[in-house]
Amino acid sequence: MAAAAAAISLSRAIRACAGAGSGRSMASSTAKEVAAAGARVAAAVARREATPEDGRRVQWVFLGCPGVGKGTYASRLSQMLSVPHIATGDLVRDALASPDPFSKQLAEIVNNGKLVSDEIIINLLSKRLEEGAEKGELGFILDGFPRTIRQAEILEGVTDIDLVINLKLREEALLAKCLGRRMCSQCGGNFNVASIDMEGENGGPRMYMPPLLPPPQCESKLITRPDDTEEVVKERLRVYHDLSEPVEEFYRSRGKLLEFNLPGGIPESWPKLLRALNLEDPGNERSAAA
């Protein structure tokens, strides 16, 4: 049964990947690479699902604009539910830091606020899933994938997603958050220097999101990501909105979409998100980088 399911998943992934190239005049070599990437995703997911366990662990997806806090909440839920948090943004940053010549081409895309192509994302994700399968990981929370309808269709072809959590935040707050992001060049910690205090919309309560400041030893080592400029952030948001609506509708039509409007910072939003998910967190005193 598991072998048959894996074969079906593999076939669907290859058809989805290879077929997507027809409207874009892809070279045959590129189409083959995409098909191979989709096949690797299918094989890695199939190995996870074939592993015996008392109750399959969650397979969730986080959607939301760049900077909304997907990584924060996905990471917390990952720890609570004992499943890996797989963030395509982290995979891209790791690829950028590699000595591979491809990293220069990737840097051009990212630094101009463009979305990384499906081919690149699928290859990075398939590699991460393969590594996880080899380590015996079960379940996952995907963060940053799928971003396009094509990616959603490919994912649908290789596994059954249980839930898609769509985080939403007012655009002016998003912009402030993105411009306030900082990283420690020594320890790699993520912080945010933005202090957001806005009037509520339509007579609603004020939105307050306090800064997440670094410890003293990191203060002098803070750096800004090269793609966190106002122009690039606005372009990222515009591109995201253009592509996100079909993805949201894809999952909404399947009854899998949970839309969650962030009411404020982590202390206010986290317990409300847990209630929306019917979960309880005994360690809800933790803090995380947004």
Between CA 124 and CA 54 the distance in angstroms is 30
Question: Which of the residue ranges 116-125, 148-157, 166-175, 242-251 would you say has the lowest mean pLDDT?
Answer: 116-125
pLDDT tens-digit map of 88-107: 888 888 888 877 777 777 88
Q: Characterize 42-72 residue by residue with b for buried, 16 or more Cβ atoms within 10 angstroms of its Cβ, and e for exposed.
A: bbbbbbbbeeeeeeebbbbbbbbbbbbbbbb
pLDDT of residue 134: 83
Res. 241: pLDDT tops 60? yes
- In CATH terms, the fold of domain 55-279 is Rossmann fold (3.40.50)
Mean pLDDT to the nearest integer, 170-181 = 90
Q: List CB contacts of 17: < 8 A, sequence separation 6 or more.
A: 31, 34, 35, 37, 38, 39, 122, 154
pLDDT band at 14 (very low <50, low <70, confident <90, very high): very low
Mean pLDDT to the nearest integer, 259-284 = 88
pLDDT of residue 201: 79
pLDDT of residue 28: 41
Kind of pairing between the strands at 59-63 and 163-168: parallel
Question: Over pLDDT 90: what percentage of the chain?
Answer: 33
pLDDT of residue 219: 93
Largest CA-CA distance found in the chain, in angstroms, rounded: 57
CB 12 within 8 A of CB 42: yes
Nearest to 256 by CA among 168, 162, 166, 167: 162
pLDDT of residue 76: 93
Between CA 65 and CA 262 the distance in angstroms is 12
pLDDT of residue 43: 53
CB 64 within 8 A of CB 167: yes
Res. 288: pLDDT tops 60? no
Between CA 140 and CA 59 the distance in angstroms is 5
> Helix 2-20 vs helix 149-158: angle between axes, to the nearest 10 degrees?
160
Nearest to 68 by CA among 157, 202, 181, 151: 181
pLDDT tens-digit map of 17-66: 434 544 443 334 445 555 555 555 555 455 444 443 434 588 999 999 98
pLDDT of residue 80: 92
pLDDT of residue 42: 52
Question: Which of the residue ranges 23-27, 114-118, 146-150, 219-223 would you say has the lowest mean pLDDT?
Answer: 23-27
Res. 114: pLDDT tops 80? no
The runs of H, that is alpha helices, within 82-139 are 88-97, 102-111, 118-134
Cis peptide before 146 (omega within 30 of 0): yes
- For residues 54 and 111, the model is more confident at 111
The mean predicted confidence, pLDDT, of the chain is 78
Q: Where are the domains of the chain?
A: 55-279
Model pTM above 0.95:
no
Between CA 1 and CA 4 the distance in angstroms is 5
| Paired tokens of 73 | 């909440």
pLDDT tens-digit map of 177-236: 999 999 999 998 889 999 999 888 777 788 999 998 999 999 999 999 887 888 888 888
